[in-house]
């Protein structure tokens, strides 16, 4: 019954493991153990009962497919799991069976287990973010002076540096990670409220039990039960969505730079099943697919039916991790072609510097006068194929307003980078 392949491009092996049947069963069982241990510590149930429960609480003892099937009858995995765990404990130590799940409700188990699975996935995401961030910072530094076309609306614009482009990625990823990490941290709360959320079954020891269970599970104790307040999970999912959108944007940028006609960067790529010559942007495709898949999952936050959350939250976190891992791989081994970047600038014949000429001459010609003169040069370039610089030289109105040095260097990209390096450093500092 395992359904892994259908999702294989939208997860990593390590993340898939954290949301596998075995891991989810174990997370639910870990909650029951923590509940029993906490109650034993506080003298609510006998220590022997906690021992017996803990000894039974191993995923390997239980039949996931059967629990999944029975869950559809009761509307939650918790009911068949608790039933099965109670039976297992009873078989081992009949007197302890009654203390299984003592005072808790189904949603306490289900919600806490989901949070545990999230907690266990967290270091996986974190490690890949750190790796990607380091790779990109090094790439930005290495290409601080590498000029390339700016491209707006997919059309050539004045030059930028590849270092600046990458620094923009670093800063956006940094903001995205900060949001995700904050949302994640806030969601690491145990759920324990009992039938109505008042902890009534625990008498006056409710809050103490909640604190003790949280300690056992290395989670936080919330101000109150959150069974009806799904905003923390919603914030995880939506901030995962925003973060993954940035991953998707970077992957798309790379895939665009890797077009044969552009050829400015390449990831190692995957082969093709048919085409021997082809190097596909496979890692980018995985990252974009995971991002698209992740996007689909963001919408739950506003809905809040807790029965619907498990696949959503699990998928969002795994999609984020898949995009992250693919992109960390792709960037770590990406090749950058500075010569091609410069060649693509040159292939514009210098027309991207038209703005520069307008700015230099407008004070004397007026903006419209300058634009008219420049338009003439642009037309000449288009018609004759000569360079924009040569075309400018042939227009007395313009040439007369520029110094020989200005005219000579009018299409040198390094001279029209504005604050690129200052911005790059500020973006890296922010990221």
Task: Give the integer Cα–Cα distance in Å for 178 and 169.
Answer: 14
Q: What are phi and psi of 316, to 5 degrees?
A: -65, -45
| The binder of its own copies chosen from 246, 320, 387, 393 (CB under 8 A) | 246
126 given a catalytic annotation: no
Q: From the CB of 74, what's the least distance to its own copies, in Å?
A: 4
Verify binding: residue 106, its own copies, rule CB under 8 A. Answer: yes
Verify binding: residue 330, its own copies, rule CB under 8 A. Answer: no
Task: Give the integer Cα–Cα distance in Å for 147 and 150.
Answer: 9
Contact string (CB under 8 A) for its own copies, positions 357-396, x = contact: -xx--x---xxx-xx--xx--x---------x--------
Q: Which of 8, 48, 95, 272 is catalytic?
A: 272
- Cα angle: 45, vertex 51, 57; to 5 degrees: 110
CA-derived radius of gyration, the chain:
30
Q: From the CB of 216, what's the least distance to its own copies, in Å?
A: 19
- Our CA dihedral for 15, 18, 22, 25, rounded to 10 degrees, sits at -150
301 given a catalytic annotation: yes
CB 428 within 8 A of CB 140: yes
Verify binding: residue 132, its own copies, rule CB under 8 A. Answer: no
Q: Which of 230, 301, 326, 387 is catalytic?
A: 301
Positive or negative, the CA dihedral 308, 310, 311, 317 is positive
| The binder of its own copies chosen from 115, 132, 167, 328 (CB under 8 A) | 167
Stretch that binds its own copies, among 32-40, 129-137, 398-406, 413-421 (CB under 8 A): 413-421
| The binder of its own copies chosen from 288, 391, 398, 407 (CB under 8 A) | 288
Q: From the CB of 241, what's the least distance to its own copies, in Å?
A: 5
Residue closer to its own copies (CB basis): 46 or 55: 46
Residue 64 vs residues 15, 54, 108, 311: alpha-carbon distances, Å = 19, 19, 19, 16
Task: Give the integer Cα–Cα distance in Å for 99 and 76.
Answer: 20
Verify binding: residue 401, its own copies, rule CB under 8 A. Answer: no
Please give the helix or strand (H or E) that residue 160 lies within, else none.
strand 155-161
Task: Give the integer Cα–Cα distance in Å for 342 and 26.
Answer: 56
Verify binding: residue 326, its own copies, rule CB under 8 A. Answer: yes
Verify binding: residue 155, its own copies, rule CB under 8 A. Answer: yes
Query: 324 CB contacts (<8 Å, ≥6 apart)?
Result: 125, 128, 129, 132, 244, 247, 287
CB 306 within 8 A of CB 75: no
Using CB under 8 A as the binding rule, the residues of this chain from 205 to 224 that contact its own copies are 206-207, 223-224
# residues contacting its own copies (CB under 8 A): 182
Stretch that binds its own copies, among 50-58, 77-85, 118-126, 396-404 (CB under 8 A): 77-85
Verify binding: residue 321, its own copies, rule CB under 8 A. Answer: no
Residue closer to its own copies (CB basis): 217 or 322: 322
* Residues taking part in catalysis: 272, 301
């Amino acid at each position: 019954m395992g359904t892994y392949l259908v999702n294989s491009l939208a997860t990593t092996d390590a993340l898939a493991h954290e949301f596998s049947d075995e891991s989810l069963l174990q997370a639910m069982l870990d909650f029951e153990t923590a509940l029993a241990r906490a109650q034993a510590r506080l003298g609510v149930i006998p220590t022997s009962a906690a021992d017996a429960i803990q000894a039974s609480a191993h995923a390997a003892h239980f039949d996931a497919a059967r629990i999944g099937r029975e869950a559809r009858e009761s509307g939650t995995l918790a009911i068949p799991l608790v039933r099965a765990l109670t039976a297992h404990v009873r078989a081992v130590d009949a007197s302890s069976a009654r203390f299984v799940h003592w005072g808790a409700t189904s949603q306490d188990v289900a919600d806490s287990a989901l949070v545990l699975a999230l907690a266990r996935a967290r270091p996986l995401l974190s490690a890949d973010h750190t790796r990607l961030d380091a790779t990109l910072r090094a790439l930005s530094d290495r290409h601080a002076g590498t000029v390339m076309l700016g491209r707006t609306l997919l059309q050539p614009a004045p030059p930028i540096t590849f270092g600046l482009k990458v620094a923009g990625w670093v800063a956006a990823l940094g903001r995205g990670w900060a949001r995700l990490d904050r949302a994640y941290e806030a969601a690491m709360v145990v759920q324990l409220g009992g039938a109505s959320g008042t902890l009534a079954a625990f008498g006056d020891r409710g809050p103490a039990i909640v604190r003790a269970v949280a300690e056992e599970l290395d989670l936080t104790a919330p101000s109150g039960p959150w069974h009806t307040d799904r905003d923390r999970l919603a914030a995880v999912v939506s901030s995962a969505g925003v973060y993954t959108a940035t991953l998707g944007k970077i992957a798309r940028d790379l895939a665009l730079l890797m077009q044969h006609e552009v050829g400015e960067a390449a990831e190692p790529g995957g082969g093709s099943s048919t085409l021997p010559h082809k190097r596909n942007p496979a890692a980018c495709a995985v990252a974009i697919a995971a991002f698209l898949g992740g996007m689909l999952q963001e919408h739950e936050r506003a809905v809040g039916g807790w029965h619907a959350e498990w696949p959503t939250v699990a998928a969002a976190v795994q999609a984020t991790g898949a995009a992250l891992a693919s992109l960390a791989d792709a960037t770590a081994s990406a090749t950058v072609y500075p010569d091609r970047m410069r060649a693509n600038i040159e292939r514009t014949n210098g027309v991207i510097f038209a703005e520069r000429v307008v700015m230099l001459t407008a004070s004397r010609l007026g903006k419209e006068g300058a634009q008219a003169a420049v338009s003439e040069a642009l037309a000449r370039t288009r018609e004759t194929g000569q360079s924009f610089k040569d075309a400018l030289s042939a227009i007395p109105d313009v040439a007369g307003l520029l110094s020989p040095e200005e005219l000579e260097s009018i299409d040198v990209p390094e001279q029209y980078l504005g604050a690129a390096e200052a911005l790059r450093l500020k973006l890296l500092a922010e990221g």
